[in-house]
Amino acid sequence: MAWIEIVGLFGAFLSSITFIPQVWLAWKTKSVGDLSLGMLLIVFTSVIVWLVYGFYLHLLPVIIANGIIFFLSVLLLYFKFTFPKK
Amino acid sequence: MAWIEIVGLFGAFLSSITFIPQVWLAWKTKSVGDLSLGMLLIVFTSVIVWLVYGFYLHLLPVIIANGIIFFLSVLLLYFKFTFPKK
């Protein structure tokens, strides 16, 4: 595997885990007031677009990364809509 | 241009603007307590990795998208470190 492919996989890995600390913080504090709903909706939409792209071109890293981000963004949207406003 | 390329460009566009609503909300409220520092650091790191990838493979959409995200993530990190804790 060329080193640049490893760089790409590392980027995909980092992008996949981006929202894990945010999900953890939101769950721990039950506070999401400073989290932008617009950001979450753009993430959700972009993930669906990237999944169409990844499935069509059979790009497994794109599919896996966005599958994980899809799950995390749905969690954050659920928190945003259900945690009480402060 | 094939329709799937347009899908990819649309995904890149959405990913580029992901943090604009978050920067706007943070700037407006001067409140970033619910924003995960871990998330911001992962975004910052992943963007650098993707820029290496994009420059090496001459992938202009990757370079442009991550250039924009780099700028926005630096802004959010600056807010996170300078806005007073509540």
Label residue A49 by pLDDT band (50, 70, 90). Answer: very high
Percent of chain A with pLDDT over 70: 99
**Average pLDDT over all residues of chain A:** 95
Candidate from A19, A45, A49 with C-beta closest to B39: A19
CATH top class, domain B3-82 = mainly alpha
Candidate from B35, B37, B53 with C-beta closest to A11: B53
ipTM of the complex: 0.91
pTM for the whole structure? 0.92
Position B53: which residue type? Y
Which of B6, B35, B70, B72 has the highest number of chain A CBs within 10 A, making it the mutation to test binding with A?
B35
Rounded mean pLDDT, B56-65: 92
Q: Does A55 score more than 90 pLDDT? A: yes
The DSSP call for residue A85 is P
In chain B, where are the structural domains located?
A: 3-82
